[in-house]
Structure 1
Amino acid sequence: MIHALNKRILQYGVTMQAIPSNPARDVVLPRNTQKAKRQKVKHFENQELKKFLAYLDNLDSDRYRYYYETTLYKFLLATGCRINEALALSWSDIDLDNAVVHVTKTLNRDLEINNPKSKASYRDIDIDQATVSMLKQYKLRQTKEAWKIGQRESVVFSDFIHEYPSSSRLKKRLQTHFKRADVPNIGFHGFRHTHASLLLNSGIPYKELQYRLGHSTLSMTMDIYSHLSKENAKKSSIILRNCTKSTIGGANLKINISRQSKNPIAKIQ
């Protein structure tokens, strides 16, 4: 901040011809080590994930709000999408026949559709059949609920009130569910980190993880998640076995990586 102020003052001196050049332009500031230290990535550990999923499965699915929220949370866990990428999705963006989610847009703070965060954020995310089945059932339920109020919905996670739902309002509900489930408040982005953690546990290469998450550079992916792979190396032999009793999309939680196709396929079953 002080450097920026000095730079502006000296530049004014150049403009007024009081000095020939601005020496502050050549100053290279040392990296802020405090800022460089990343906060620990918030994500669910294995037992916490199982606990939260069990909590969701015990909610009254006859209440549409609970059904909607459960589907949204499980979708985020299954895809690793950013919350505003998920909220911007239309049904035309999801190819249920070929099990692919096309990410081509995001939602801004004004609830307007924008281009994705970066060029790398344009991507196709393969989903497993359990998630496809979950989305098909949800689409039917959404259609029935919309008919009750004389509406037709094309937005996947529409709240029937606004064209696109607000992540800030949904965040409050999520915090309530975390509290009731007695699990850490990892926020919406924590679902994305949990997704990445599961993939790392399964042995997915960082390059494939980079593509699936839509990171611009491989170094970004490694900077964020390298410590997770180190932590998980000690427990990788047992973590997937312990996960098999949890459910996402109505079946057991497992990770299978297909290296036959261009994109990694995280099958959360």
Structure 2
Amino acid sequence: MAEDEFKTIDNYKMYASQVFEFAIEKEIITKNPMDGVKIPKREDQFIVVQSKEGEKRNFWEKAEIKKFLEIVKTNYPFSDYCMFHLFIYTGARKGEVLALNRNDIDFKNKTLRLNKTLYYDKDNGYMFLTSKTFASRRLISLDDTTLGLLRKLIAGQNNGNVTHIHLKDDPNKDKLLFSRFDGHPLRIAYPNDKLDEIIRIYNLHSITVHGLRHTHASLLFEAGATIKEVQERLGHSDIKMTMNIYTHVTKTVKELTASRFEKFMESNDEVTEPEDALHEQNK
């Protein structure tokens, strides 16, 4: 089956899910039957292939991320810097980030709600659709640096006024975090175009916006996160998707694994036999 056919089926499922979500809101039904529906994956999505030397990688190493963020911070609008920071530090999908509003941020509990995506239809224009699967609708934790950037972004949009940032009655709570000057959503292709521009101008390793999501996952693994933790943070309904990323962890992880083994073998520490340990405890 062609890739376009898979995308069409995926869209049909998304539209059907929206109908059932509306029925739930109207208390016609209590559960969305589409939550349990899984679209068959292409065979190549189940084949885990180890990265080969020279194969194009669609993610960045930590040093490349730092260089990229410094370039954006120095040479581009603050909103662009915040947008790319969110991609890298949350692993959220492009449509999820573009659909974020202020009400999705809980500064007190340090969380970000991801439950919708920005979609463009040529007949109906921009729409905010509920995320397709239960796993996609999630609450993720935010670090202090990211929260600080979001506070600054919102304060800038409020002309320096931070009074309403923590208030539930914020009159702008439904305002998009990232939008055009007139308040309309950004073009869905905007992050792609901006990323391509920066990569071209500053001669960076070429990756896609989706590659930023891959980057986040890879670095989570490098930091010691479990497969289950990464699956939940990325909103993967199928753990095989997370496993595919796990096999493409950064070269730093691979080098650290060998380094740890080498250090262990070179250490002078002796392994204590169980009987000896018990004897020591009974002294």
Higher relative contact order (CA 8 A, sep 6+): 1
Q: Select 2:102's aligned residue among 91, 94, 101.
A: 91
User: CA contact under 8 A between 1:82 and 1:189: conserved in structure 2?
Assistant: yes
Q: Select 2:140's aligned residue among 125, 129, 134.
A: 125
User: CA contact under 8 A between 1:105 and 1:114: conserved in structure 2?
Assistant: yes
Distance in 1 (alpha carbons) for counterparts of 2:139 and 2:257: 30
Match in the other structure for 2:116: 105
**Distance verdict in 2 for CA 1:34–1:234, change over 3 Å:** closer
1:144 matches 2:159: yes
Q: What SS does the corresponding residue of 2:230 show, helix, strand or coil?
A: helix
User: CA contact under 8 A between 2:98 and 2:178: conserved in structure 1?
Assistant: yes
Identity level (%): 33
Uncovered stretches (5+) of structure 1, i.e. residues with no partner: 2-30, 61-65, 146-150, 239-269
1:171-211 superposed Cα distances (whole Å, 9 cap, x missing partner): 21221112223212312111111111110101100000000
Structure 1 runs of 4+ with >6 Å offset: none
TM-score (norm 1): 0.66
1:95-124 superposed Cα distances (whole Å, 9 cap, x missing partner): 112110011111113321111132110111
Distance in 2 (alpha carbons) for counterparts of 1:116 and 1:198: 25
Distance in 2 (alpha carbons) for counterparts of 1:139 and 1:199: 27
TM-score (norm 2): 0.63
Distance in 1 (alpha carbons) for counterparts of 2:202 and 2:112: 29
Aligned residue type for 1:87: L
**Distance verdict in 2 for CA 1:45–1:133, change over 3 Å:** same
Match in the other structure for 1:233: 253
TM alignment of 1:239-258, pairs within 5 A: none
Q: Select 1:169's aligned residue among 179, 186, 190.
A: 190
User: CA contact under 8 A between 1:102 and 1:123: conserved in structure 2?
Assistant: yes
1:221-269 superposed Cα distances (whole Å, 9 cap, x missing partner): 102332326x44323479xxxxxxxxxxxxxxxxxxxxxxxxxxxxxxx
User: CA contact under 8 A between 2:140 and 2:233: conserved in structure 1?
Assistant: yes
Kindly state the Cα deviation for residue 34 of structure 1 after the two structures are TM-superposed: 10
User: CA contact under 8 A between 2:217 and 2:245: conserved in structure 1?
Assistant: no
Kindly state the Cα deviation for residue 59 of structure 1 after the two structures are TM-superposed: 1.9
Q: What SS does the corresponding residue of 2:158 show, helix, strand or coil?
A: helix
Q: What SS does the corresponding residue of 1:89 show, helix, strand or coil?
A: coil
